[in-house]
Amino acid sequence: MTVEQTDLAARRLDLAGARGFDAPGAGQARRAAIAALTRDWLGQAWEHALDGRGSEGIALAAVGSLARGDAGPLSDVDLVLLHYGRSLSGEDLRGLADRIWYPVWDAGIRLDHSVRTVNQCRTVASGDLTAAVGLLDLQCVAGDPEVVSAARSTVSHDWRANARRRLPQLVDGLRARHARHGDLSQSLEADLKEAHGGLRDMTVLNALVAAWLTDRPHGGVDEAHRTLLDVRDAVHVVTGKGRDRLTREDHDAVAALLGHQDADELLTEVATAGRTIAYALDGTVRRAGQSQRARTLRVGPRRPQLNPLGFGMFEHDGEVVLGPRSTLSTDALLPLRAAVVAARNNLPIAPTTLANLAGQPPSLPEPWPEIARDLFADLLATGPGLIGVWEGLDQAGIVDRWLPEWAAVRSRPQRSPVHRHTVDRHLIETVVIAGGLVRGVSRADLLLLAALLHDIGKVAGAHDHSATGAPLASAIATRLGYPAADVEVVTTLVREHLTLIDLATRRDHQDPGTVTAARACVGGSREVFDLLVALTEADASAAGPQAWTDWRATLLRQLAEAARTGWEEGSMPPPAETTAVDAADLESVASGEPRVVIRPQGGSYRIDVFDRDRLGLFADTAGLLAAYGLVVRTAILRTVDGVAANEWHVESPSTEPPDEERIVRGLERLAQGDRGPLGLLDRRRQFASRPSAQAGTGSPGQARALVVPHASQEATVIEVRAQDRPGLLHELGMGFAKAGLSVRSAHIATYAGQTLDTFYVTEFGGRLLTPAKVAQTVAMVIDTCDGTVAGS
């Protein structure tokens, strides 16, 4: 068999599959075998290309993953044909290169190739930072090893000599790459190579060491590197492609191949590895800068410049360090003090100091003394500086000593599309945001502690993380030394931290039942209610822009205002003021001319629609707004002197605001039986029903509709969960109209293509639904959502 006929890619993939993935040390053995196979094959290709000629002064060298020995089953090959410039003519070099490159391509391997002299390697490295980092790993595959050694030595010498100039360039390049590819630890579709904490960062770590500026951490960092390499290898095997991104559709297969119980366990391991590498890189870059400044500023021995920060802590070259007279062996409060000082000054704690703090200090008694509890509260109140300091404490194992429950949520992924962080990082982000809301509450310390613990119940196997987390939060608050009354407040906040946003977005805040539920969830305490409002805002804001839109913020504010009104007297808030309709408008509407008023509200619009009250008006308006590309969030329907005065809150995905005259014309035509204005909606439905538009949506299962008991004394409240589609709200409205029902208000939410809608419905005229009518309505809603109603 000739070299050209060998499918090297298939052989590497078969070799990887045969080596196993979940046995100890299997990954290293697999990659070593792949490297040996590839080098042996390239050696044969080299000999075949030389065709008996000598190789003095020329060599085939590898850079990248093959040179480092960590190539995956389908990783590409980076090769350099090196020469001194006098061994072969240009034509002979080109011929030799072609006889090597083409067999590699024919073997199914992606190839990055070049032909260079030793001096050209030096020139390329001096002008291209990425190339310089890669050439530091230059390894001989075949031919004259002295050529490779000369090139590597020259590049390495220049790298060390120019470290002062190139370090800022390297840092800028890191920041730009991380901005493009994100943080590996916080992504559900992690870029295992380019993201912050990925495989590329390990290469940079080694390049910094090669510059003789600093050493890098080992141990846990090397283990994290092996973890990411194993996952990358599994991605290659599962997908049959040499890619570096762990996509959602591959989670289960990769997890099974690596021996994990489920995909969440895999993602937790990936996130933990990414965090370890990212933290090591950030610290190593910082110490490289310190080393460079030390060389630049002074020749000879240099006394450290220590700036006092308090509590025996000092700032030294951008880090917090222990002073020479620290009481590490006797002061159990020292880790807390150091953390508070560092976070307040927005400085990282030096790795050596963290290691000393995590060493053998005395343990805090349980429950904690008051001074320890106060220091912990001070730490939570430090603001943005808390994020980096907490990460350092967590990497050092100090957080586990304070909060053993933290281990269960560390690096745990969140599948909800509204969340942008892992559970533990979300908790810290929530604390930081809550710190900006403390002036509106009576107990800042309890707000911050609840923010830290509100998702502590998001552990494996938990179905209701609020219920799971409440007893955990109670145990933690007790261990921290809080009195029983404060423990009860924190427990309530954790248990109910989703209640207000749920009521605000899915209930009518003008209904007395909603206000009663909001007050009842905090046991009737106004102070606890204010804490819960602040926690709700901090939680949603920390989750991400999908969870804390202008509209959701407005709904929460309206609910809070409604609940607070008359709280001390125990009364319900007065009915909401309706939009005024003057005599001229009444006469206009009575003659069949609708009136529409549009008011911008931040990122959304309020549309007041005045029309003759009739069955089907809700459905017609919903369909018309959907046809015009508007997304309905809430509809509140009222009747004033026989005129429907309906309030719609919508968002416009396009930059064009809603058009009042267009909506008026559409309503007039619909009232006359002309369904033409809904033609756009029909086209949207047809587009959404195409196979290409449905690709990847999966099977959503049957729609669910249920009655919420005691939610209102004035209407029957029906919750709907279904797969969203264009015009669904219109179809439901038509169903209600055909059943002779009036929609008093509707609250619409859509997440990841799933609707979470709530309807307040009555018989036409305002009567509550009978039990039989309720059953018929629920069946109609389910059939409509599932598309089984005739004509839908």
Angle at 631 between CA 626 and CA 632, to 5 degrees: 95
- Smallest CA-to-CA distance from 556 within 524, 492, 509 is with 509
Name the segment(s) of the chain with CATH classification 1.20.120.330: 165-294
Distance CA 77, CA 129 (A): 20
**510 within 8 A of 575, measured Cβ to Cβ:** yes
Q: At 396, phi and psi to the nearest 5?
A: -85, -10
More confident residue, 603 or 675: 675
Amino acid occupying residue 173: G
| Residue 461: how many other CB atoms lie within 10 Å | 5
Mean pLDDT calculated for residue range 487-501: 97
Residue with tokens 């960062």: 201
* Tens of pLDDT, residues 229-278: 999 999 999 999 999 999 999 999 999 999 999 999 999 999 999 999 99
* Tens of pLDDT, residues 322-354: 887 666 667 889 999 999 999 999 999 999 899
Distance CA 2, CA 18 (A): 25
pLDDT band at residue 700 using 50, 70 and 90 as cut-offs: low
Distance CA 76, CA 9 (A): 10
Return the pLDDT at 459: 94
Among residues of the chain, what percentage have pLDDT more than 70?
91
Amino acid occupying residue 596: V
Query: What stretches of 480-520 show up as alpha helix (H) in DSSP?
Result: 484-495, 499-506, 512-520
pLDDT band at residue 637 using 50, 70 and 90 as cut-offs: confident
| Residue 605: how many other CB atoms lie within 10 Å | 19
296-310, 401-415, 426-440, 625-639, range with the lowest pLDDT: 296-310
Return the pLDDT at 695: 46
Name the segment(s) of the chain with CATH classification 3.30.70.260: 584-687+701-785
pLDDT band at residue 696 using 50, 70 and 90 as cut-offs: very low
Return the pLDDT at 465: 95
* Tens of pLDDT, residues 572-582: 666 555 555 66
Mean pLDDT calculated for residue range 310-329: 81
Bridging pattern class, strands 77-83 and 111-117: parallel
The Cβ-side half-sphere exposure at 111, using a 13 Å CA radius, reads 22
Residue 574, token pair as written in the block? 């007065």
pLDDT above 70 (res 227): yes
33-37, 405-409, 755-759, range with the lowest pLDDT: 755-759
The long-range contacts involving 126-133, CB below 8 angstroms and separated by at least 24 positions, are 126/158, 126/162, 129/166, 129/169, 129/170, 129/173, 130/173, 132/158, 132/159, 132/166, 133/170, 133/203, 133/204, 133/207
Gyration radius from the chain CA atoms: 33
* Tens of pLDDT, residues 421-476: 999 999 999 999 999 999 899 999 999 999 999 999 999 888 899 999 999 999 99
CATH class of this structure's domain 3-161: alpha beta
pLDDT above 90 (res 390): yes
Q: Domain 165-294: what homologous superfamily?
A: Nucleotidyltransferases  domain 2 (1.20.120.330)
Would you say how long the chain is, in residues? 792
Partners of 421 in the beta sheet? none
pLDDT above 80 (res 417): no
* Tens of pLDDT, residues 354-385: 999 998 777 899 999 999 999 999 999 999 99
pLDDT band at residue 771 using 50, 70 and 90 as cut-offs: very high
What are the Cα distances from residue 329, in Å, to 333, 335, 379?
11, 11, 22
Distance CA 163, CA 208 (A): 9
The span from the first CA to the last CA of the chain, in angstroms, equals 65
Distance CA 576, CA 439 (A): 29
pLDDT band at residue 55 using 50, 70 and 90 as cut-offs: confident
Name the segment(s) of the chain with CATH classification 1.10.3090: 320-564
pTM comes to 0.85
Average pLDDT, the chain: 88
Return the pLDDT at 307: 87
More confident residue, 676 or 766: 676
Angle between helix 220-239 and 8-18 (nearest 10):
120
Residue with tokens 């605001």: 657
Q: Which fold has domain 320-564?
A: cca-adding enzyme, domain 2 (1.10.3090)
Return the pLDDT at 403: 96
Mean pLDDT calculated for residue range 162-169: 87
Mean pLDDT calculated for residue range 698-722: 84
Distance CA 42, CA 55 (A): 15
SS in 3 state form for 565-596? CCCCCCCCCCCCCCCCCCHHHHHHHHCCCCEE
Return the pLDDT at 464: 93
**598 within 8 A of 650, measured Cβ to Cβ:** no
Categorise residue 231: left if φ over 0, alpha if ψ from -120 to 50, beta otherwise: alpha
Return the pLDDT at 545: 87
Q: What three-state secondary structure class fits 561?
A: helix
Mean pLDDT calculated for residue range 702-709: 89
Q: How far is CA 514 from the centre of its chain?
A: 32
Distance CA 255, CA 230 (A): 11
Return the pLDDT at 693: 45
Q: What three-state secondary structure class fits 498?
A: coil
Distance CA 596, CA 581 (A): 12
pLDDT band at residue 698 using 50, 70 and 90 as cut-offs: very low
Distance CA 760, CA 744 (A): 5
Distance CA 196, CA 178 (A): 5
More confident residue, 767 or 305: 767
Q: Which fold has domain 584-687+701-785?
A: Alpha-Beta Plaits (3.30.70)
* Tens of pLDDT, residues 76-101: 999 999 999 877 777 888 999 999 99
More confident residue, 28 or 588: 28
Amino acid occupying residue 345: N
> Before 483, cis peptide (omega within 30)?
no
pLDDT band at residue 127 using 50, 70 and 90 as cut-offs: confident
Is residue 121 within a helix (H) or strand (E), and if so which, with residue range? Answer: helix 118-127
Return the pLDDT at 699: 47
- Smallest CA-to-CA distance from 312 within 296, 325, 303 is with 325
More confident residue, 357 or 603: 357
Bridging pattern class, strands 604-612 and 595-601: antiparallel
